[in-house]
Structure 1
Amino acid sequence: MSQLKNDTFLRALLRQPTEYTPVWLMRQAGRYLPEYCETRKRAGNFMKLCMSPDLATEVTLQPLARFPLDAAILFSDILTVPDAMGLGLYFAEGEGPRFERPLRDEWEVRNLSVPDPMDKLRYVIDAVRQIRVALDGSVPLIGFSGSPFTLACYMIEGSGSSDWSKVKTMLYSRPELLHHILDVNAQAVAAYLNAQIEAGAQAVQIFDSWGGALGHRAYREFSLHYMKQVISLLKREHDGQKVPVIVFTKGGGLWLEAIVESGCDAIGLDWTVDLASARARVGHQVALQGNIDPSTLFGSPAVIAQETCAVLAEYGHGSGHVFNLGHGISQYTNPEHVALLVETVHRESRQYHAQ
């Protein structure tokens, strides 16, 4: 593998000195880019796009051709893992992800097993290898998975939900069944992320998109506990380099101190969290990633620059900050506004890293 030409992102995650604050964006390869829409149209549908290593590589690199981002993130979907378990993932136009065979009966839960990532998810692992070669050491590659709880939400509901009523019904009426799903998911996520690391992912992120929907005690028992289990099973070094782990719980600002104890290297923050207070709460234990409101990118150039500078000022001086959105970029975002954001981060953050 090529020597990294820009390791700013990895050094920031490990709280090492950097010349500026690195930046990447959740969902940076997506529908806001005309070239992505063209590739997706050529693929035929979203699943075919995900399952083609060639096309996944193409769209992973598209935002890097436009913007001087400090990391690439594998193009895939968090629900490839339950699909590999046999639940039958498909995407209905305008309706988001759905499963043909959601977990409805106890025997279906008991029959769940950990898929071999080199078999059922080989297309993702092949994409990781291909993307690393294509990047040629320009920037690091981020691998990812959904959290055990977030995957369980879709596996039980069968689709997205406004209240996750089926999940919560199981949580409070048959918690042992939910724990069984989560245990299998944790093993599957760890195996999946380890396969990505072995294939070339230089950092990994766990997307806990729905952990914030849980109550205070339930979050620790049903979401954080299983992310901690995943992290304990991960390969933390590969090719002589440390592989940092980022945990992102949307709506998780209340639990930062507990998330620190998961063993992660960095915590992703949504836009509801004040970076200055978050930094004070976690101290020097972990790096922080985030957290401008994605809707800021609908504002005028002056407002985007102003809000970007405000986030940098909130974190303040020193290393350990990776600039990102507080959630994924909207499909309606103007790419020129993204260019402005990245340029502003790179230019204005240098004052906070001066020795």
Structure 2
Amino acid sequence: MTGSTQIPYLLRATQGEVLPRPPVWMMRQAGRYMKVYRDLREKYPSFRDRSEKVDLAVEISLQPFRAFQPDGVILFSDILTPLPGLGIPFDIVESKGPIIDPPIRTHEQIKQLHPLEPEESLPFVREILQTLRQEVGNQAAVLGFVGAPWTLAAYAIEGKSSKDYAIMKRMAFSEPAILHEFLGILADSIATYVRYQIDSGAQVVQMFDSWAGQLSPQDYEVFALPYQQRVVRQVKETHPDTPLILYINGSAGLLERMAQSGVDIVSVDWTVDMAEARRRLGPNVGVQGNIDPCVLFGSQPFIRDRILDTIRKAGDRGHILNLGHGILASTPEENAAFYFETAKQADKLLAVPA
């Protein structure tokens, strides 16, 4: 392995290298299931303080790295973080989630938005990513992340999380021109933001279109996919070698279309079998995932079996082990530790006959 230690293990997977085990991290790995995070949250109750003050965000990003040594360390942030830079203020209320007031509902409001200037509105993101790169070195890849246009628009238009996205879909189906204008502004700003994260030190960037799974395939092709493609195209023009990952919650019906976005890796949720996902995506698209987060409430033998089953089905090339969604806040911390330990020993465990 001489020489390869200079490249973080996760990046080797994104480059298509055959590896003895997949790299491993988990969505929401910095957060409420960890006692050190809960203690820090008691001291600093504002989410925006925790995610936008450099020292706090760095500390929180590094908590799981120190505890579990994952192969990826992701920026502690929120997909809504860039919105104030466009002229859309938001707050995050504990146990309620994001609140955008007033929500974006009119063409007049959209006309008042301005392009994102991340150096002005998001200087803390650069500092956080630069510090994480220094702290982590080559022991892990530093990941950035952004929200995709449809999902950011959904939050901005609904004003909060939603179960049915009726307000957003009403706009999509009755005033599509207004929505398309908004999605275009968001796509160009997100592309700028991705480039800014890469220039600040992010080695991989994951785009969350969390709520695009609420769309029918035909509507996904109109309102989500073209704007994902617009982001990816702009980023690849300037940063062709930085791997991009796309995650959608509830994406089993959209997998092939997700690959059309142009990303390098599709993050698969747990509603599709990993072997089936591989077949549907083809050999040229990497995969990430896809353990059900609730598996981490099972016994250790159960957790181990599910991890090894996923790894077998994904194969030894172009797979990053992850959960199919974020880790749940009530997950026992020792089970999270066991998840990482098992993944790190997967090559030895797979060599033992079942």
| Matched residue, 1:339 | 337
1-structure distance, mates of 2:230, 2:242: 17
Alpha carbons 1:237, 1:243 under 8 Å: kept? no
| SS of structure 1 residue aligned to 2:77 | coil
CA shift, 1:86, in A, is 2.4
CA shift, 1:4, in A, is 6.1
2-structure distance, mates of 1:313, 1:340: 18
The one-letter code matched in structure 2 to 1:328 is: G
Moved more, 225-234 or 277-286: 277-286
Alignment of 1:91-110 (within 5 A): 91-110=92-111
The one-letter code matched in structure 2 to 1:304 is: I
1-structure distance, mates of 2:21, 2:262: 26
2-structure distance, mates of 1:283, 1:16: 16
TM-score for both structures, normalised by structure 1? 0.93
Moved more, 333-342 or 323-332: 333-342
| Matched residue, 1:141 | 142
| Matched residue, 1:278 | 277
CA shift, 1:5, in A, is 4.7
The one-letter code matched in structure 1 to 2:248 is: T
Alpha carbons 1:145, 1:205 under 8 Å: kept? yes
Identity rate of aligned residues, in percent?
37
| Matched residue, 1:307 | 306
CA shift, 1:257, in A, is 2.1
| Matched residue, 1:85 | 86
Alignment of 1:71-82 (within 5 A): 71-82=72-83
1-structure distance, mates of 2:166, 2:257: 26
| Matched residue, 2:291 | 292
1-structure distance, mates of 2:204, 2:110: 31
Alignment of 1:323 with 2:321, yes or no, is yes
Which whole-Å deviations, capped at 9, do the CAs of 1:168-205 have from their partners, x for residues lacking one?
00000000111011100001100011000001000000
Alpha carbons 1:308, 1:345 under 8 Å: kept? yes
Alpha carbons 2:22, 2:316 under 8 Å: kept? no
Alpha carbons 2:13, 2:23 under 8 Å: kept? yes
Alpha carbons 1:210, 1:249 under 8 Å: kept? yes
Alignment of 1:220 with 2:218, yes or no, is no
CA shift, 1:138, in A, is 1.9
1-structure distance, mates of 2:11, 2:348: 17
CA shift, 1:258, in A, is 2.2
The one-letter code matched in structure 1 to 2:318 is: G
Alignment of 1:247 with 2:246, yes or no, is yes
Moved segments of 4+, more than 6 Å: none
Unaligned runs of 5+ in 1: none
The one-letter code matched in structure 2 to 1:121 is: L
| Matched residue, 2:120 | 119
Alpha carbons 2:101, 2:159 under 8 Å: kept? yes
2-structure distance, mates of 1:233, 1:114: 15
Which whole-Å deviations, capped at 9, do the CAs of 1:41-66 have from their partners, x for residues lacking one?
22231111111011110010100111
2-structure distance, mates of 1:123, 1:236: 25
| Matched residue, 2:186 | 185
| SS of structure 1 residue aligned to 2:289 | strand
CA shift, 1:99, in A, is 1.0
Unaligned runs of 5+ in 2: none
1-structure distance, mates of 2:237, 2:24: 22
1:168 and 1:123, CA in 2 relative to 1: closer, same or farther beyond 3 A?
same
Which whole-Å deviations, capped at 9, do the CAs of 1:103-122 have from their partners, x for residues lacking one?
12220022222220111111
2-structure distance, mates of 1:291, 1:109: 37
Alpha carbons 2:158, 2:168 under 8 Å: kept? yes
| Matched residue, 1:30 | 31
Alignment of 1:145-164 (within 5 A): 145-164=146-165
CA shift, 1:270, in A, is 0.5
2-structure distance, mates of 1:308, 1:38: 30
2-structure distance, mates of 1:42, 1:121: 24
The one-letter code matched in structure 2 to 1:322 is: I
CA-atom RMSD in angstroms: 1.8
TM-score for both structures, normalised by structure 2? 0.94
Alpha carbons 1:270, 1:290 under 8 Å: kept? yes
2-structure distance, mates of 1:144, 1:260: 18
1-structure distance, mates of 2:339, 2:245: 22
